[in-house]
Amino acid sequence: MNYDFCKIISNFKLKGELVSCVRYGEGHINETYLAVVSDNGAETKYILQKINKNLFQNVDKLMNNIRLVTEHTRKKVAERGGNPDRESLSIVYAIDGKPYYRSPEYDEYFRVYIFITDAVAHQREERPGQFYQSAVAFGEFANMLADFNASELYEVLPDFHNTEKRFNDFKVSLAADKLGRAAGVQAEINFVLEREKYCKSLVNLIKTGQIPLKVTHNDTKLNNVMLDEKTDKPVAVIDLDTVMPGTICYDFGDSIRFGCNTAAEDEKDLSKVNFDIDLFEEYTKGYLSALGKSITPAEKNNLAFGAILMTYECGMRFLSDYLNGDTYFRIRREGHNLDRARTQFKLVSDMEKRFDEMKKIVAAY
Ligand code: ADP
Ligand code: GN1
Ligand code: MG
């Protein structure tokens, strides 16, 4: 779809004319563009996103969450003497004052963020220490939100990390087998079914109050954090669509899932996909140092398991989407979601073998 970006941008409180607008980043959910606006020759970059309206059915409430969270983080950054436009995600408001713009022509929702300058969202660790810094970033983000009033937040995607529910959804997709794909992926299906026992444990610990609900990010991939392009120091956490009550075991686990993979999330050659325990240690060190004393013993005891669970859950979600006909995660090639599911299951197997070591590492910090 070709959009009239000049017109879309003109509905936001921005000074200048649109010079260019190109697809940007590697997110699976929204459509992200880099927009360059010129004001008398002075160029400023912005992030323009078409919000995934299939997934986010109440954009008004979604964007109200992001407004509340970013107002909070901007205030925290200002209090510590930082630059809120760079060290927090920041909304550019629409002319009508809303934190998004609904285009009547396209019946689509768009939002604009200030571009976080001189920073990179990495797909993987390129220099030693970057993964450590991402852990510090997510730990500090959790700290900033520790005094945020969670009851103000709308639960954008209910049961987002309710693995029990995800398992049931998987079984529904399997039973429907809309495209007749199940027969070709029996090994992957069995991998999921054999591990049903994983699904209940964290859900139950939350239900019984043994693990506290906190305001968490819920999508803590390495490419959802911006690191300084020169120093690799944390700049800001981005992609705040899923900020909701959750547990830090999910946040920790999802970072490990993505960041401790020696290959890409969609690598076809599984011999390249391995769980890197040194990176696990790096992240654990960074995350626990940033969280300090706020972590409870029950949370700490379940961090390593959280990594297995989030990887299993994500693999199950990719496989469900493959069975459903690729309707949720954006795919760029045939079988993309199946490739993604396979990498996740390879990582789960690796982590299962090294679970004792993982627990020892967590206990040591
Ligand atoms: P998705 O929900 O689809 O993952 P994201 O919000 O994570 O979308 O954005 C996709 C990518 O766009 C990020 O990984 C990052 O590279 C880039 N990006 C997003 N927001 C900003 C920003 N404010 N400044 C600079 N880059 C950004
Ligand atoms: C999606 O939006 P993005 O690309 O950062 C997904 C996550 C998955 C991830 C897998 C809202 O994250 O839950 O873990 O893909 N986000 C949503 O890479 O479903
Ligand atoms: Mg993202």
pLDDT of residue 358: 98
How many domains would you assign to the chain?
2
Q: How far is CA 155 from CA 36, 58, 244, 294, in A?
A: 33, 10, 6, 24
What is the C-alpha to C-alpha distance for residues 253 and 347, in angstroms, rounded to an integer? Answer: 12
Do 249 and 162 lie in a common domain? yes
Q: 81 Cβ partners below 8 Å, 6+ apart?
A: none
Cα 183 versus chain centre, distance:
31
Q: Look at the block and give the residue holding tokens 């399997």.
A: 174
- Considering the domain architecture, whether residues 202 and 110 belong to the same structural domain is answered as no
End position of a domain, from candidates 58, 93, 117: 117
Clarify whether residues 167 and 238 are in a common domain. yes
The answer to whether the CB of 251 is under 6 A from ligand 2 is: no
CA–centroid distance, 340 to ligand 1, in Å, is: 20
Determine the pLDDT at residue 1.
79
Structure pTM?
A: 0.96
- Which residues are 225's β-sheet partners? 237
Quote the tokens at residue 112. 């604009």
**Within a domain: 125:** no
Does 290 fall in a domain?
yes
Q: What is the C-alpha to C-alpha distance for residues 193 and 191, in angstroms, rounded to an integer?
A: 6
The ligand 2 atom at the shortest distance from the C-alpha of residue 242 is: 11
Report the candidate in 265, 263, 261 with the shortest Cα–Cα distance to residue 342: 265
Centre of ligand 1 from the C-alpha of residue 341, in Å: 23
What's the pLDDT at 89?
98
Please identify every stretch of the chain with a pLDDT value under 70, giving residue numbers as ranges: none
pLDDT at 237: 98
pLDDT at 150: 84
Q: Are residues 178 and 319 in the same domain?
A: yes
Helix, strand or coil for residue 109? strand
Domain that holds residue 51: 5-117
Q: Answer yes or no: is 100 within a domain.
A: yes
| Structure tokens that stand for 82 in this block | 């930082």
**Under a CB-based contact definition with an 8 Å cutoff, are residues 241 and 70 in contact?**
no
**Sign of the four-CA dihedral 169, 256, 329, 87:** positive
Query: Hey, which of 24, 26, 28, 310 would you mutate to test ligand 2's pocket, going by the most ligand atoms within 8 Å of its Cβ?
Result: 28
Atom index in ligand 1 nearest the CA of residue 114 equals 23
Please report the pLDDT score of residue 151 as a whole number. Answer: 87
**CATH (domain of 53):** 3.30.200.20
Residues 99 and 193 in one domain: no
175 C-alpha to ligand 1 centroid (Å): 35
Whether residue 101 sits in one domain with residue 161? no
**Helix, coil or strand: residue 195:** coil
Q: Which of 365, 343, 130 minimizes the C-alpha distance to 257?
A: 343
Q: Where are the beta strands (DSSP E) in the chain?
A: 17-23, 31-39, 42-50, 91-92, 101-103, 108-114, 119-120, 214-216, 225-228, 234-237, 244-246
Find residue 113's DSSP bridge partners.
Answer: 47, 91
Distance CA(211)–CA(295), nearest Å, equals 10
DSSP annotation of 55 reads T
Minimum-distance ligand to the CA of 314?
Answer: 2
In a domain, 261, yes or no: yes
If asked whether residues 143 and 96 sit together in one domain, one would say: no
The number of the ligand 1 atom at minimal distance from the alpha carbon of 116 is: 24
**Does ligand 1 have an atom closer than 6 angstroms to the CB of 56?**
no
Per DSSP, 323 falls in state H
Report yes or no on 222 lying in a domain: yes
Q: Which of 88, 117, 146 is the last residue of a domain?
A: 117
Residues 90 and 165 in one domain: no
Nearest-angstrom CA–CA distance, 67 and 265: 30
290 and 153 both lie in a single domain: yes
Compute the distance from residue 238 Cα to the ligand 1 centre, in Å. 7
Which own/partner pairs from 274-281 qualify as long-range (CB within 8 Å, at least 24 positions apart)?
274/346, 274/347, 274/350, 275/347, 275/350, 275/351, 275/354, 277/354, 277/357, 277/358, 277/361, 279/125, 279/131, 280/256, 280/307, 280/358, 280/361, 281/361
CATH number at residue 194: 3.90.1200.10
Do 138 and 281 share a structural domain? yes
**Closest ligand 2 atom, CA of 224?**
5
Of all helices (H) and strands (E), which one includes residue 263? none
